[in-house]
Structure 1
Amino acid sequence: MESVHVYLLEHKVVFTDIDGTLTDIITGQYELSKGLIQELKQNNIPVVFCSAKTLAEQEKIRQDMGLRQPFIIENGGAVIIPEDYFSHSSLLLVKKYKKIGNYIIIELGKPASLIRKKLNIIRKKSKIEFTGVADLSIKGLSSITGLGPSYARRMADRKFGETILQINQKDLPTFTRRARDIGLKVIHGGRFLDVTTGNDKGKAVKILLQLFRKEYGQNVTFFGIGDSLNDAPMLRHMDVPMLVQRPDKSWSALKIKNIINLPGIGPKGWKNALDIVLKTN
C-alpha cells in the first residue's frame, strides 16, 4: 500500500513540542489543544510531535487526538513513522531503519541502559546526588511528577535517554561538565533535565524534512512551535519558528532568526500559533 496524502499546490507541516507547548506544563492536560489539532486535520496539515516524551507517552496523546503522522521521541532518540505513511521511493532516502510492528523506526540515540551506567559513574566519582526516572518506583515517580500511575508508567518506558527529576542547582554545572566528559549531553527541558548520548531534536527533524520534501516536492512550509531551550535544534530548521510563553509569562531566550514570540502560556499560545499557520499563504 502506498502512502495516503492529500496533494495540494501549497503544503504546510507543523512540528510541535508537547510539554509546556501543546500541553499544560504542570497538569499535562491538553483538552484545548485537542480541538486545535482537529482544525489542522480538517485543513490536511500534518502535525508532527517532537518531544522528550517516550513512545508510549506520545502514542497515548496521538490516539486521543486521532493522529497518524510521524513523530520524534525522547529528544530525537528515534524517529517513528507509521507504516505506509511515506512512499517507498521517499524512504529510500533513509539509510538505516527497523520495522517493528506497524512502525518504521529510525534510531538515532544509544540505549538508555548505557546512559544510566554512565550516570552511575558520575554519581560515584563526583558524589553528586540526583534522582532519575530509573531510580524510582512507579509510585515514587507519580509522587514527584504529579502524574497518575498509568501516565508515570509510560514516562518510565525510556529507550534512548534518562530524565533527571531532582538535582541541586548548585551541582548542575559540575554535573553537566562531567556528563560531557564521558560522552553524554544534558538537555534542559521545560521542567526536567534529559540526558542523551548526543542526539537532539534537530537531527531527527532533518530526516523528516527530507522525507516530507521528497513526498510533497519543494513547495512546503514548515512551522515549529516550542517553549524551551531544548526546542532550539528543532526550531532552527523551521521556516516559521514560534515560541509560546512559559508559566512566568516569559519566552525562552533563543537566538533564532525570525522567531515569533507568541502571547499565551502553553496551549493558549499554541492557539495563536494555529492562527499563523492557517493564515500563512
Structure 2
Amino acid sequence: MDMRNSLKRPQSQILIFTDLDSTLLDDQTYDFSPAVPALKIIHSRKIPLILVSSKTRAEIEFFRELLSLESPFIAENGGGIYFPTSFALPKEYSYKKIDSFNALIIGEPIKEVLRRCRRLKRDFNFRGFSEMPAQEIASLTGLTLEQALLASKREFDEPIILQNPLDDKEIFCKKALQYGLDCVYGGRFIHLFVGGNKGGAVKTVLKIYRQLKGPIFSIALGDSPNDISMLKAVDKAVLMQSRDGTHINGLAHPDLIALEGNGPETWNRVMLSILEDLRNRKLMAES
C-alpha cells in the first residue's frame, strides 16, 4: 500500500505494533528508556501502540503499565488479544472477560499444548517453562525472580530449550508440526503452541480498527522469526537485527526497513524518522 495515498484518505488512523525483547526492550536489561523520545511523540499524537510478544499476559501488563499504554495488546505469540473493557468491540466478536480486559482467545489452552508436547518428547529431549522453577527461568533469561514468576504464567505458549546440542531446530519443528504443534523461533527459545500466531492476531486487530475507525496505516517492528507473520501483515515493516547480528530470512515485503542494531536506541531512531516522515506527508496531503 502506498503511504501517501493512505494518508490522503479522511480520518486515517496510524497503528504501531511492536515486539518487545530486542526490539522496544534491551535484550539483557529489558530497559526501554532510550526509546522515550519517540514514545512521547506517539503518546502526544494518540497513536495506539500495540505490544505483540511471546511474553505472557502478566508480563505484558507490567510493561504496559510502565509505558502508560491504554491500547490492546497481543500475548504469547498471538494466543490471546486483550482489549481494555473501555474499548467497544464490534458486536460480532465473542470475547471472554479476564480481569480488566475483554479477551479474544485464538490459541488452544496451554493444557492441550503440553499434552502434545509430551508426545513430542518421545522423539526429542527438551525442557520447557512448565518444567522449570522460576529461579531457572530467571537464570536463562536474566529476568528478576519476580518477573520470572510472571513469565511462568503461560496460557497458550510453551517456550522450550533443546537439551541435545546436536538436535536440529528445523527438524524439531517439522516433527512438532506432525503432532499438531505450531513451532517458531524466538530470540532465546523455541516456542510451541496450537493455533494463533502474531500475524493472525495483528490482522484481527487491524480488521477491528478498520471497522471502528476507517482507513488504517499500520507499522510493525520486530527482530525474530516469530515476528515474520506480524511484519507481513502491516503496511510498513521494520526489521531489526537478531541477537547474532544477522537479519532473519523469509521476509518479503514491499515497504521494508532493515536496520543495523536492535533494542530501544534503534527503535527510537527509526520511529522518530518514521513519525517525522508521516507528519510531513500528512502536511503535504493537507496542503
Once the two structures are TM-superposed, the CA of residue 148 in structure 1 deviates from its matched residue by 0.9
Residues 169 and 91 (structure 1), Cα distance of their counterparts in 2 relative to 1, 3 Å cut: farther
Deviation at 1:249, TM superposition (A): 3.2
| Identical residues among aligned pairs (%) | 30
Residue equivalent to 1:119:
117
Aligned match of 2:148: 152
- 3-state SS, counterpart of residue 170 of structure 1: coil
Q: CA deviation at 1:139?
A: 1.3
Equivalent in 207, 210, 220 of residue 207 of structure 2? 210
Q: How does 1:5-154 map to 2 (within 5 A)?
A: 9-85=11-87, 87=88, 90-94=89-93, 96-123=94-121, 125-126=122-123, 128-154=124-150
For 2:59 and 2:227, locate their aligned partners in 1 and report how far apart those are by CA, in whole Å: 18
Paired position in structure 1 for 2:228: 232
CA RMSD of aligned residues (A): 1.7
Q: Does the C-alpha gap of structure 1 residues 191 and 34 become closer, same or farther in structure 2, counting only changes over 3 Å?
A: farther
Judged with a 3 Å threshold, the aligned counterparts in structure 2 of structure 1 residues 41 and 47 are, in CA distance, closer, same or farther, namely same
Q: Deviations over 1:163-215 (max 9, x none)?
A: 11344353224422221111001111122111011321111111110111122
Deviation larger for 153-162 or 243-252 = 243-252
Is this contact kept in 2: 1:93–1:211, CA < 8 A? no
- How many angstroms apart in 2 are the aligned matches of 1:278 and 1:104? 34
Measure the CA separation in 1 of the matches of 2:236 and 2:25.
20
Residues 1:195 and 2:192 are matched in the alignment: yes
For 2:15 and 2:148, locate their aligned partners in 1 and report how far apart those are by CA, in whole Å.
30
What residue ranges of structure 1 are gaps of 5+ in the alignment?
1-7
3-state SS of 1:180 partner = helix
Look up the SS of the partner of 1:72 in the other structure: strand
CA separation in 1, counterparts of 2:170 and 2:256? 28
Q: How many equivalent pairs are there?
A: 267
Tell me which stretches of 4 or more aligned residues in structure 1 moved more than 4 Å.
Answer: none
Shift of 1:75: 0.4
Deviation at 1:35, TM superposition (A): 4.3
What amino acid does structure 1 have at the position aligned with 2:119?
Answer: I
Residue 260 of structure 1 deviates from its aligned partner by 1.0
> Quick one: which amino acid aligns to residue 106 of structure 1?
L
Distance 1:278 1:11 in 2: 16
Q: Distance in 1 between matches of 2:201 and 2:68?
A: 23
Q: Which residue of 2 aligns with 1:279?
A: 277
In the TM superposition, residue 93 of structure 1 has moved relative to its aligned partner by 4.1
2:79 counterpart letter in structure 1? G
Unaligned runs of 5+ in 2: 1-9, 282-287
Q: TM-score, normalised by structure 1?
A: 0.89
Q: Deviations over 1:74-110 (max 9, x none)?
A: 000010000122x3xx52242x211223211000001
Residues 122 and 248 of structure 1, relative CA distance in 2, 3 Å threshold:
closer
